[in-house]
Amino acid sequence: MKKIFITGALGQIGSELTIKLRNIYGTDNVIATDIRKNDSEAAQSGPFEVVDVTDTKTMIETARKYEADTIIHMAALLSATAEKNPVFAWNLNMGGLMNALESARELKAQFFTPSSIGAFGPSTPKDQTPQDTIQRPTTMYGVNKVAGELLADYYYHKFGVDTRGLRFPGLISYVTPPGGGTTDYAVEIYYEAIKNGRYTSYIDKGTYMDMMYMPDALNAIIDLMEADSSKLIHRNSFNVTAMSFEPEEIAAEIRNSIPGFEISYDVDPARQQIADSWPNSIDATAAKEEWGFKAEYDLEKMTIDMLEKLKK
Ligand code: SER
């Protein structure tokens, strides 16, 4: 990774990834792009270009202008938003991915895009979901993620593009909030705990989902991209996870810092249905064995850090 081109650079992952990559690889070597510019550090601290990922010509030309040797494609709609507007989700998620892969092929660039626990569905084994298993998701987001995994593998086999991906769980961070995901409750709960000492969850008690703290997710992207290609048996995409919990467990953990914290429930049937179709916990053995994946934050360590950072 010497010249890194990022789409969706102002999103939940992209905004922090851009800064981290600039610190490691040099400010001018990380080109942030998004559909619009804002005042954030990612937009202001180095090269930035407005790029609509559905616009093939602009994307390829911009990546070429900077002589990108790495394309990190982050622009996509999350699960709950995609379910509200499935045709738009298909066009953005698949059209954007296709353009990003084509850019990588033209520039002979290395390629990363995230998949998700959303690539699994109700017929997938729910506990310790294996790396290679049934993938019949019932959401548009999941359909996009499975098609995306296949497409990225196709570009590797057919055109020799060095494509790599991670099946991320819900990602938790105190910097840029997620928008329109099913796992967002696990971020909102910390903000509300600090502001109001209470949280009404749209995900029901007893619903287990995998999660990871953002610093671990960023390290996982970099470690995978820097991994020796010959060691990778899998490519698109690796199961990664740091913890699995349900709302009562995260609430109990928050109570260790904020004793009076209360959780109540007003379940959103749409997002609950998505959550119910996803695994309870996934198995990250392949990622550990093939490129040394590890996560540093468990629920306790993440909660202490989240609350401390958010209080500031
Ligand atoms: N956080 C994502 C979502 O909930 C999962 O990939 O949509």
Q: How confident is the model at residue 179 (pLDDT cuts 50, 70, 90)?
A: confident
Give dist(CA 59, CA 91) in Å, integer. 16
Identical topology for domains 4-169+214-221+235-239 and 170-211+243-311:
no
Residue in 83, 115, 116 to alter for ligand 1 test, most ligand atoms within 8 A of Cβ: 116
Burial of residue 241 (number of CB atoms within 10 Å: 0-12, 13-18, 19+): buried
* pLDDT tens-digit readout, 9-40: 999 999 999 999 999 999 999 999 999 999 99
| Per-residue confidence (pLDDT) for residue 136, from 0 to 100 | 98
Our answer on whether the CB atom of 182 is closer than 6 Å to any ligand 1 atom is yes
Measured in degrees and rounded to the nearest 5, phi and psi for residue 239 equal: -60, 130
* pLDDT tens-digit readout, 129-175: 999 999 999 999 999 999 999 999 999 999 999 999 999 999 999 99
Closest residue to atom 3 of ligand 1, CA basis: 181
Pairing of strands 70-73, 110-116: parallel
Residue 96: closest CA among 31, 187, 13, 33: 33
The CATH superfamily holding the domain 170-211+243-311 is: UDP-galactose 4-epimerase, domain 1 (3.90.25.10)
Cα→Cα distances 106→13, 67, 145, Å = 25, 11, 23
pTM score, whole prediction = 0.97
Q: Which of 141, 156, 190, 202 is catalytic?
A: 141
Mean pLDDT of the chain: 97
CATH 1.10.240.10 fits 4-169+214-221+235-239, yes or no: no
Q: Where are the domains of the chain?
A: 4-169+214-221+235-239, 170-211+243-311
